Structure 1
């Protein structure tokens, strides 16, 4: 567990550093391109981490064209990188939504009911990272 957390923290540090400071491409055959830097969720909340033992969960999602996920919320931070497709995420409490496409990075809202729909012709492919209190789930479905 500590190795996973340490790896995640190292990756975060490398991605948040500027490309010129992270690695010298003239000596190392690696190019780092920062993709995102956020301090707030999609709905403007500050990002806060779990206060107990943190567990990092990594998943891939594939959402078929036209499919809509059930209304749900997350109690802990969830990040998603859109690898393909077009996804519309709507906060059902406020009616406000955002549309994300391939290459976008999402910091999902915390504790707010929302819903996502694949609004494109291709499957939506997501790489999803959750930071939860160890042993807990991060998605609650609205009953």
Structure 2
């Protein structure tokens, strides 16, 4: 164990050129799926939203994956295509199906603070489409 600690310490204090070319090992090799999907083929965006009690995110659909992480409050996420509903408490996350229409609504008497995380194909022209009037 001490040998491993010394090796790690030596790697940290060695010169930058030595760190620029790390040794390849099975533990650091990327998974096969990651090798097939270049990092620049997807776009990841995150934004923070706050919904007042009873407030809603407009009906929407997106080409990629969407995750909603609730920081505080309670959120109901409804898939308008399948009819599935998720009740998401603070500290939990919901996932939305790409291509399906969804709506999210704050439940209870307190506002909902959440992060909306979108992972879309880089070539997608519009990440999210909202229905008019909502």
Alignment of 1:1-143 (within 5 A): 53-134=41-122, 136-143=125-132
Give CA deviations for 1:19-70 in whole Å, capped at 9, x if unaligned: xxxxxxxxxxxxxxxxxxxxxxxxxxxxxx8997222212111111111222
Runs ≥4 residues deviating over 6 A: 49-52
State the shift of 1:104 in Å. Answer: 0.6
- TM-score, with length taken from structure 2: 0.61
**Alignment CA distance shift 1:99-1:56 (3 Å):** same
Unaligned runs of 5+ in 2: 1-36
- TM-score, with length taken from structure 1: 0.58
Kept in 2, the 8 Å contact 1:50–1:76? The answer is no
State the shift of 1:93 in Å. Answer: 2.0
The RMSD of aligned alpha carbons is 2.4
Which whole-Å CA distance do the structure 1 matches of 2:38 and 2:77 have between them? 24
Which whole-Å CA distance do the structure 1 matches of 2:72 and 2:110 have between them? 8
Which whole-Å CA distance do the structure 2 matches of 1:50 and 1:89 have between them? 31
Kept in 2, the 8 Å contact 1:72–1:139? The answer is yes
Give the structure with the higher percent strand.
2
Q: How many residues align?
A: 95
Larger Cα Rg: Structure 1 or Structure 2? 2
